[in-house]
Amino acid sequence: MEISKLYTLFKDKSFGEILFDEPMKNHTSFKIGGPADIMVIPNTEREVIESIKFCRDNHIKYFIMGNGTNLLVKDTGIRGVVIKIANGFDNIEIDGNKVICQSGTLISVIAKEALRQSLAGFEFASGIPGTIGGAITMNAGAYGGEMKDIVTKVRVLDKNNNVVELTNGEMNFRYRGSTVIDQELVVLGVELELEEGEYSQIEEKMKDLTHRRVSKQPLDLPSGGSTFKRPTGFYAGKLIDDAGLRGIRYGDAQISEKHCGFMVNRGEATFDEVFTLIKTVQKIVYDKFNIMLEPEIKIIGDD
């Protein structure tokens, strides 16, 4: 669809905040990415649903994102509409040991609220960047815990614009995957079940995991988190290190010297620099160990 027609269609719509020709580098933790033709930032469930339905009804290409913590966007940007479900769509309610939250809620915010309520079981996730919607979609995990361990219900929009509630068993949680991906669903809300605990113990565990994360990961530089998925029986970071690639750099894209599982932006890295380095690492690791590393970051954009 022509950009001028797209702009006209969205100019007076009440889907929340609407941005035109919006640089994606302002919305990704990698700080990389050209402009999206249109970005919609909904604040209510109605706005989320209506904006998606409008795109579907008008055959407009759209992409759903959260806080952009695992995205690598092409420098040419994204044609069509990006619907950002993040800040603004982030209400939290506590009901006993249940935490009910909208999908745009930051994981760090949920962790703080769980601590405040002395609810245990979410500590493993406290340092994971991004939103709970993205975490559910990918079954995010860390330090021995995964989202599948604490999710009881997930409220989603299906491909027929129906709002459906799925149980944990219906979510088909697995390593970095779920029914959300399989059926192209959109996460609207989540119910988590935690356990009553001791405030001091929960706080201490969160501090310990935070220290471990900060001491081992390059959190001081822009990145997309873990660059590659964990191959069965191996660790991507160790394979990259063993291949002699620690600190290897192409332009401003670099394999972190602190943690080889992370690729970082040293300043003004472009998509092409990061993508070239990804391909280089894949080839060298495959040639040495006969293991093909699969990207964990999501690569999107249009030429």
- Residues labelled catalytic: 176, 226, 296
- Token readout for 59 is 């055959």
Count the Cβ atoms, other than its own, within 10 Å of residue 278. Answer: 21
Asked if 264 and 223 count as a contact pair (C-beta separation under 8 A), the reply is yes
Alpha carbon distance 149, 202 (integer Å):
17
Structure tokens, 236: 């991507």
Both tokens assigned to 42: 């909904």
DSSP string, 64-91: EESS-TTEEE-TT-EEEEEEE--TTS--
Q: Give the closest residue to 300 by CA, choosing from 129, 68, 136.
A: 68
Closest listed residue to residue 245, CA positions, set 277, 270, 213: 277
DSSP letter assigned to residue 295 = B
Is the separation of the CB atoms in 71 and 17 below 8 Å? no
93 Cβ neighbours under 8 A, 6+ residues apart:
99, 100, 101
What's the CA gap between 10 and 39, in Å, rounded? 10
